[in-house]
Structure 1
Amino acid sequence: MNENTIAALTEIERKVRWLSTWMIHHANHVRPNEDGLKVGGHQASSASLSTIMTALYFAVLRPEDRVAVKPHASPVFHAIQYLFGNQTREKLENFRGYKGAQSYPSRTKDVDDVDFSTGSVGLGVAQTLFAALTQDYLGAKGWSGGVEARSGQGATAGKMVALLGDAEMDEGNIFEALLEGWKHGVRNTWWVVDYNRQSLDAVVREGLWARFETIFRNFGWDVVILKYGALQRRAFAEPGGDALKRWIDAAPNQLYSALTFQGGAAWRRRLLDDIGDQGAATALVERRSDDELAELMANLGGHDPASLIEAFEAARTHDRPVCFIAYTIKGYGLPLAGHKDNHAGLMTPAQLDVLREHLAIRPGHEWDPYEGLADPQAARRLVAAAPFNATGPRRRTAPPVAVPERLDVAIAAEMSTQQGFGLLMLDIGKAEGAFADRVVTTSPDVTVSTNLGGWVNRRGLFAREAMADLFKAERIPSTFNWSFAPSGQHLELGIAEMNLFLMLSALGLSHGLFGERLLPVGTLYDPFVERGLDALNYACYQDARFILAATPSGVTLAPEGGAHQSIATPLIGMAQDGLASFEPAFVDELAIILRFAFDYLQRDGGDAPDPATWLPDARGGAVYLRLSTRTIEQPVRTMDQGLAADIVNGAYWLRRPGPNADLVIAYSGAVAPEAIAAVGLLGEARRDVGLLAITSADRLHGGWTAAQRARESGFVGAASHIERLLADLPAHCGLVTVQDGHPAALAWLGSVAGHRTRALGVERFGQTGTIADLYRHYGIDAQGILRAAAALTPGRPMRHLYRVG
């Protein structure tokens, strides 16, 4: 790259650094602050990455590349997109404000073409690895968004790039992802470490990165160290330069940071004390002014555009994963540089004015894209020619895959929903066509125990290179055929739920990242949803589309005790934005819900409410199925359109209450037999008792709250599904709710129409035993339901209470 280009890049870097610094300053010191709270921002963290991001976005990245930006460098990203014309001044002026540029890059809330949402530290890093695996999956299938399919002249695989702070490497999920990447032969992944040697609270421990370097190399990654900038390398070539290099290599992190903050005079004193020899080394130091010496010592590899571009372009010639360790200064170019407290520190107005004057930016022109540049035309030409932005918006789309009108399954007299799920997936696997071909499954080493084994036998395990099942080759009988091939449709994962949700997130963004539609389905044990909850939330925040089948749920895996029993997951399903949660009791319900799920995860409409539920169903989202291993008697019934719609909408009357009903039992999931038994016994003396089957407390509650807000805004006729179901109940009617999960998930039903309610469920870790033991222990068996009914409706006959036990 010629000197003129480097000079233009250097000018653009100063502009990017200024805009990111000014953006934060404006939010904290200029914009009116109505509530008095600190707005915040990370001027120092942004400055340390400004050169790296400038080199990448204006010289190195291509349209097919995808980037996860370090959360605290969000202002740098927004500044770069502003120069590209992809971000507005209005959004920048409202940084960290209502509907302004987001604190951390967001796919769903920012307008400037964010590839991966970041903010939960470390998850964006790992996400790029799983995006690279997704790209390989598409390529192996010969689809246009993958690698092999785009191998024609001029076509290359996209690089999945993560820009991370060195302190992010403390996150354990990163190392879990490294292991999974090694197992799957990850390619085309770059992790660029902003090695500024400072974290929020401290300075990074000495020698830590030598360990990290070894870890990366052991997992098959190339490691590129970018330690010295061009100024330093030229100084090393001078007489006495070898002594300077030895001193830099031996300097403790804290000392380097402290001297950077103190400036050129402090550098001079320390260097002369440590390497002064009254000869060549002394002369090297003395030849430079204080400002020149400070510039020399801050000229690390991560602040040298030529060195960065050379390293990045060399890595583009192969597909091996690369970790770039780029030495930087936290707060580079700012008066905060090097200070250990600079993480959330803000420049004062006086300091900002000095910086503004130094950069020749006139008051009132702070937002001007090329203000203060020595050669604005050269900068404009470089921005216009940047390969990254050459094709305009990079967010891709893919048409929906047609879903069959029905998902049929042979229903036995007694089944569990987990068994039904496995049979439904097996039938999908037997089918031909785009729908079955676009389904991709994954599981953290519980494929068989979550009933995906039949699907895998039909569709195979995915690997870029074929690997035969040794047991089959040796003629050892086995129920399962674990053959790996590029044609396979199941991605085998190790026991790490964080990796599962990151993999589902990458697969579920395939249409937007690569322009190819996938229908991802992941399975895991329901209690272990909580082990990957941060990554699940992160996937939903990005609007990734997938189906999560979690089983067994509740205390139904009773013999294994509390470690394999879930309590809070119904509440998680209700509270998690972007995730529609269902808990069917019967397999015919599950078939309807699963068919809906495959359609729902492909929707991309607006927020207009569905008149039947008052939910924004046109928007679509991910789906969570809370399933059970408990075998229960299946109903024999005809599934008409009305019943199917009620199942999807969240509830239906399994026994419609009579006009004089004083009691309704509402249940969800595997406790259906207990609820049915209790109603049968109550019906001996009370004919009008109702039985409400709840398939989705999440959708019922969401629709109810949305309808309330609509009425408060003047939409008088707004009514949700649950409001219509309960509308005809007498005011004196009581509700008993029961679920194998936390009772709060259904306790709100009494507030819909003001009915007295008793909520039953599980609030404490379970014990070992049989299902009957534990249901009796928690009072969610038929006897417990009857006791709750008796307490809720005193004075009514309850002779049958003593017949159950």
Structure 2
Amino acid sequence: MPDDRSAAATAAASPPTVDADRLAMLSALERKALWLSHWMIHNANHLRPKHDGLKVGGHQASCASMVTLMTALYFHLLRPEDRVAVKPHASPVFHAIQYLLGHQSVDKMKDFRSLGGAQSYPSRTKDTDDVDISTGSVGLGAAQTVFASIVQDYLDGKGWKRDWPDGRMIALVGDAELDEGNIYEALLEGWKNHLRNCWWIIDYNRQSLDAVVREGLYARFDGVFRAFGWEVVTVKYGHRLQEAFAQPGGDRLREWIDACPNQLYSALTFQGGAAWRKRLLDELGDQGPLQAFIESHSDDDLQALMTNLGGHDLPALLEAFETAPTDRPVVFICYTVKGYGTPLAGHKDNHGGIMTPEQMAAFRQAHRIRDGEEWAPFEGLETPAAELKTFLKDVPFNAKGRRRLSAPRVSVPERLTWRPAETMSTQAGFGTLMDELGRSKDDYATRILTTSPDVASNTGLTGWINRTGLFSRLPQEDTFKAEKVPSMQKWQLSPEGRHVELGIAEMNLFLMLSAAGLSHDLFGERLLPVGTLYDPFVMRGLDALNYACYQDARFILAGTPSGVTLAPEGGAHQSVGTPLIGMAQDGLAAFEPAWVDELEAILAWSLDYIQRDGSDPAPEHDWLRDEKGGSVYLRLSTRGIEQPSRTLDKPLRDQIVAGGYWLREPTPATSVVLAYQGAVAPNVLEAASRMTTTPGGVGILSVTSADRLDAGWRAAQRTRRREGEGRARPSHVERLMARVPRDALLVTIIDGHPATLSWLGGVRGHRVQALGVEHFGQSGSIADLHHAYGLDADAIVAAVAEGGRGEGFRQV
């Protein structure tokens, strides 16, 4: 059983803080949440028609261990401003509670884990009930609350008048979730940022998917959280056990429980009262009053007593919650039984277990549920329905209904100010653009929050930081400045600062962007988050990036430097697959401009795009979901290239944002088209200049976003399949490629995986030679590496010659 060998931090016995009538109401709702969550899962697995024969699942045991905790929170403690990340496997309990509060429908619950129904794990974007923070990839929802709390403090530091008060950011965490490494990265970041108003409530049932957890784990959790400055509150025993300990001989019973191994405690829980009696009498018999106390209980009473842990005792939980501080983070280690109140309780295999129809029949009888009334909100309860309805109407958490906030969009200019140079990299151009934004006093510019995992100075943000300062809830002076030591960086921290500097943990970067990118929804204030990192390390935080997009968080991400073009830093810092990630990631529009004027057009558009929240009509002019909005990924380079002398008019800016334009237009006689993306542009121009004898000349297609071109093309194709040929206008890439003769050769070039652009040949059936990088890079100069990996002008000319041998091709 529990492996806490000390009395410290254990909730002491004291009178309940809630009056008896309210406690009776909460107990009734606790019982109903248990029934509804388990019936929802039973219906999905045993009653609803299944056509594929697969188990639907639903984690009844993981739900049962959370019911009391969630009852205490949602029906008593929480206020509308509090935000909660619910343990993924407790999703059915959450849906049941939302149903009782009037935010979930019976039909959605009947369709749990079915298309259009309540989701398997709480989802902001897929569920219709009041989900604050999506969960599912374990550990991320808990960590998100840390960054949500930091964002709340960030807003407080700006002095903006907010109608929505500060709330607690609360995570309901399974103890096995604490195996996730990102948890501890987030704890460290919270410590650095003087975290407060954050609660983690751990469902300490001592079981994971495959097994019972190791002995001594409680002490490790306690030590870790204290080391990071958290208040640790252990809710170990319920009031029945606390009263038993106060009886003559009760200290021996407590010592026995404290020393009982987790596996034995779980096994005895599953076996029931008779097993408890035999074990206790064998090991504690002849103890006089204690033996008499044990024998005075029936088997059922003894089972109830020995499983009366703090996480299943409403008075113990309410005491702990109501007396906890809010000026620092608090973790509640709540002892529970996995499967509590069900036949699955305690068995080590119960994680994916589901009650059999026979077990559910007995469960139904115990809950006094009549046939046909399984979904009735107050069926089987002794408390009158009218009283429960009145109670639910007055629940503090529900006082304002669904708590999705909004903030007005801030106006963004069509063009951004920047200082051009003859030769420039897109990374340097990004820095220049951000520096100019730091000068601006316009509302949209003041809403920009930047963040980076300890690489701000290497990713173009130095100028921005020097102008806007770093954020910290507690001010801290720049010691180098105070000591008059010259430095390029002004490292002053204050509540007014607008850059949140993180440690080297990309998971934290994406969780910070996720929290800031939901500020309008969670806190009613618009932020325009911009994050930077080394491009290859997008993959180190990919789970959290996917999670942020799944939540529909809105932000701009700059991955820089990128590709083998990074040159001397070698393969560990050179990215190959990130362009494909940009294409594949839902909710993320990916760009890779070659020129800084393209970047300016994209960034200006992006600052507006991340604010959009309209419908999803996929307008026919490009078939993109631009009315819906989303996040943006900019893949940038450190390669300085000569900048074009031109002024972008609106049609060209629109094409850049749509994904591409003709840098050199093809003619009906064109035999070769070079299509490139990003920093290889000079190589392409050099190759084209060397192909002066090419029949019909060479067309050059500048791709600024393979992602956007591909997305528009596929959307148009889907419409044609659905509505028939001729019913849809061509997409942007189809209009571009329509100008290329059918027998022309298409050569694609990118400093990234060649599949990023090779699909262009499929738009109208052109033959393709796809150049790119498929293997890890190495150190070297740009010229040497581009030659070694087949990206230079020689390789492009050779690809044209190779492709020119095909049938029907006009020889170069």
Relative to the length of structure 2, the TM-score reads 0.96
Aligned partner of 1:5 in structure 2 is 22
CA–CA distance in structure 2, aligned partners of residues 26 and 587 of structure 1:
57
Query: Is the CA contact (8 Å cut-off) linking 1:466 and 1:486 kept in structure 2?
Result: yes
Does the alignment pair 1:134 with 2:151?
yes
Please state whether the residue corresponding to 1:768 is helix, strand or coil. coil
Task: For residue 431 of structure 1, report the CA deviation from its aligned partner.
Answer: 0.9
Question: CA deviation digits over 1:555-578, x for unaligned, max 9?
Answer: 111111100000100000000000
Task: For residue 465 of structure 1, report the CA deviation from its aligned partner.
Answer: 2.2
Give the one of 296, 313, 321 matched to 2:322: 313
Task: For residue 278 of structure 1, report the CA deviation from its aligned partner.
Answer: 4.7
Aligned partner of 1:325 in structure 2 is 333
Equivalent positions of 1:361-372 (< 5 A) are 361-372=369-380
Aligned partner of 2:234 in structure 1 is 225
For residue 436 of structure 2, what is the amino acid of its counterpart?
D
Query: Is the CA contact (8 Å cut-off) linking 1:144 and 1:516 kept in structure 2?
Result: no
Please state whether the residue corresponding to 1:556 is helix, strand or coil. helix
Query: Is the CA contact (8 Å cut-off) linking 1:525 and 1:550 kept in structure 2?
Result: yes
Aligned partner of 2:8 in structure 1 is none
Does the alignment pair 1:550 with 2:559?
yes
Aligned partner of 2:738 in structure 1 is 727
- Name the stretch that deviates more: 536-545 or 549-558: 549-558
Number of residue pairs the alignment of both structures matches: 790
Structure 1, unaligned runs of 5 or more? 800-805
Task: For residue 728 of structure 1, report the CA deviation from its aligned partner.
Answer: 2.3
Task: For residue 531 of structure 1, report the CA deviation from its aligned partner.
Answer: 0.3
Task: For residue 679 of structure 1, report the CA deviation from its aligned partner.
Answer: 1.4
CA–CA distance in structure 2, aligned partners of residues 781 and 76 of structure 1:
59
Aligned partner of 2:89 in structure 1 is 72
Task: For residue 798 of structure 1, report the CA deviation from its aligned partner.
Answer: 7.7
Aligned partner of 2:789 in structure 1 is 778
Aligned partner of 1:117 in structure 2 is 134
Give the one of 572, 577, 580 matched to 1:571: 580
Give the one of 740, 744, 749 matched to 2:751: 740
For residue 762 of structure 1, what is the amino acid of its counterpart?
V
Q: 1:768 to 1:473 in 2, by over 3 A?
A: same
CA–CA distance in structure 2, aligned partners of residues 113 and 238 of structure 1:
45
- Name the stretch that deviates more: 180-189 or 723-732: 723-732
CA–CA distance in structure 2, aligned partners of residues 655 and 718 of structure 1:
24
Task: For residue 433 of structure 1, report the CA deviation from its aligned partner.
Answer: 2.1
Question: CA deviation digits over 1:677-725, x for unaligned, max 9?
Answer: 1111123433432100000000000000000001111161331100000
TM-align CA RMSD:
1.2
Does the alignment pair 1:272 with 2:281?
yes
CA–CA distance in structure 1, aligned partners of residues 417 and 607 of structure 2:
14
Question: CA deviation digits over 1:378-423, x for unaligned, max 9?
Answer: 3333222211111111010000011112112121111000000000
Give the one of 500, 506, 511 matched to 2:509: 500
Give the one of 29, 35, 39 matched to 2:46: 29
Query: Is the CA contact (8 Å cut-off) linking 1:9 and 1:379 kept in structure 2?
Result: no
Question: CA deviation digits over 1:235-260, x for unaligned, max 9?
Answer: 11112211111111111110110000
CA–CA distance in structure 2, aligned partners of residues 454 and 562 of structure 1:
29
Does the alignment pair 1:237 with 2:256?
no
Give the one of 586, 606, 609 matched to 1:600: 609
CA–CA distance in structure 2, aligned partners of residues 381 and 220 of structure 1:
41
CA–CA distance in structure 2, aligned partners of residues 701 and 600 of structure 1:
19
Please state whether the residue corresponding to 1:536 is helix, strand or coil. helix
CA–CA distance in structure 2, aligned partners of residues 447 and 440 of structure 1:
13
CA–CA distance in structure 1, aligned partners of residues 703 and 619 of structure 2:
19
Please state whether the residue corresponding to 1:713 is helix, strand or coil. helix
Query: Is the CA contact (8 Å cut-off) linking 1:659 and 1:688 kept in structure 2?
Result: no
CA–CA distance in structure 1, aligned partners of residues 687 and 706 of structure 2:
21
- Name the stretch that deviates more: 609-618 or 513-522: 609-618
For residue 319 of structure 1, what is the amino acid of its counterpart?
D
CA–CA distance in structure 1, aligned partners of residues 326 and 718 of structure 2:
55
For residue 337 of structure 2, what is the amino acid of its counterpart?
I
CA–CA distance in structure 2, aligned partners of residues 376 and 210 of structure 1:
44
Task: For residue 612 of structure 1, report the CA deviation from its aligned partner.
Answer: 2.1
Give the one of 479, 493, 499 matched to 1:490: 499
CA–CA distance in structure 2, aligned partners of residues 396 and 314 of structure 1:
29
Question: CA deviation digits over 1:702-757, x for unaligned, max 9?
Answer: 00000000111116133110000011222111111010000011111011111111
Query: Is the CA contact (8 Å cut-off) linking 1:42 and 1:345 kept in structure 2?
Result: yes
For residue 802 of structure 2, what is the amino acid of its counterpart?
A
For residue 106 of structure 1, what is the amino acid of its counterpart?
S
Query: Is the CA contact (8 Å cut-off) linking 1:52 and 1:308 kept in structure 2?
Result: yes
Aligned partner of 2:56 in structure 1 is 39
Task: For residue 360 of structure 1, report the CA deviation from its aligned partner.
Answer: 0.4
Aligned partner of 1:802 in structure 2 is none
Does the alignment pair 1:653 with 2:670?
no
Relative to the length of structure 1, the TM-score reads 0.97
Please state whether the residue corresponding to 2:723 is helix, strand or coil. coil
CA–CA distance in structure 2, aligned partners of residues 555 and 520 of structure 1:
28
- Name the stretch that deviates more: 713-722 or 520-529: 713-722
Does the alignment pair 1:676 with 2:693?
no
Aligned partner of 2:201 in structure 1 is 192
Equivalent positions of 1:584-595 (< 5 A) are 584-595=593-604
CA–CA distance in structure 2, aligned partners of residues 638 and 322 of structure 1:
56
Query: Is the CA contact (8 Å cut-off) linking 1:704 and 1:723 kept in structure 2?
Result: yes
CA–CA distance in structure 2, aligned partners of residues 742 and 46 of structure 1:
44
CA–CA distance in structure 2, aligned partners of residues 73 and 399 of structure 1:
34
Aligned partner of 1:382 in structure 2 is 391
For residue 530 of structure 1, what is the amino acid of its counterpart?
M
Equivalent positions of 1:385-784 (< 5 A) are 385-714=394-723, 716-784=727-795
Task: For residue 143 of structure 1, report the CA deviation from its aligned partner.
Answer: 2.4
Aligned partner of 2:68 in structure 1 is 51
CA–CA distance in structure 2, aligned partners of residues 262 and 532 of structure 1:
44
CA–CA distance in structure 1, aligned partners of residues 728 and 511 of structure 2:
41
Aligned partner of 1:803 in structure 2 is none
Give the one of 353, 361, 371 matched to 2:361: 353
CA–CA distance in structure 2, aligned partners of residues 279 and 612 of structure 1:
86
For residue 128 of structure 1, what is the amino acid of its counterpart?
T
CA–CA distance in structure 2, aligned partners of residues 114 and 58 of structure 1:
16
Equivalent positions of 1:261-300 (< 5 A) are 261-300=270-309
Q: 1:414 to 1:798 in 2, by over 3 A?
A: farther
Task: For residue 207 of structure 1, report the CA deviation from its aligned partner.
Answer: 0.4
Please state whether the residue corresponding to 2:173 is helix, strand or coil. strand
Please state whether the residue corresponding to 1:618 is helix, strand or coil. coil
Question: CA deviation digits over 1:401-456, x for unaligned, max 9?
Answer: 11112112121111000000000000011011211110010000001000100000
CA–CA distance in structure 1, aligned partners of residues 389 and 245 of structure 2:
35
Please state whether the residue corresponding to 2:81 is helix, strand or coil. coil
- Name the stretch that deviates more: 58-67 or 214-223: 214-223
Task: For residue 311 of structure 1, report the CA deviation from its aligned partner.
Answer: 1.0
Query: Is the CA contact (8 Å cut-off) linking 1:662 and 1:793 kept in structure 2?
Result: no
Does the alignment pair 1:20 with 2:37?
yes
Percentage of pairs with the same residue: 63
Task: For residue 797 of structure 1, report the CA deviation from its aligned partner.
Answer: 8.5
Please state whether the residue corresponding to 2:421 is helix, strand or coil. coil
Question: CA deviation digits over 1:3-50, x for unaligned, max 9?
Answer: 121122111111101111010110000000011111111000000000
For residue 343 of structure 1, what is the amino acid of its counterpart?
H
CA–CA distance in structure 2, aligned partners of residues 9 and 250 of structure 1:
33
Query: Is the CA contact (8 Å cut-off) linking 2:805 and 2:811 kept in structure 1?
Result: no
CA–CA distance in structure 2, aligned partners of residues 36 and 679 of structure 1:
58
Query: Is the CA contact (8 Å cut-off) linking 1:8 and 1:379 kept in structure 2?
Result: yes
Query: Is the CA contact (8 Å cut-off) linking 1:711 and 1:718 kept in structure 2?
Result: no
CA–CA distance in structure 2, aligned partners of residues 573 and 663 of structure 1:
27
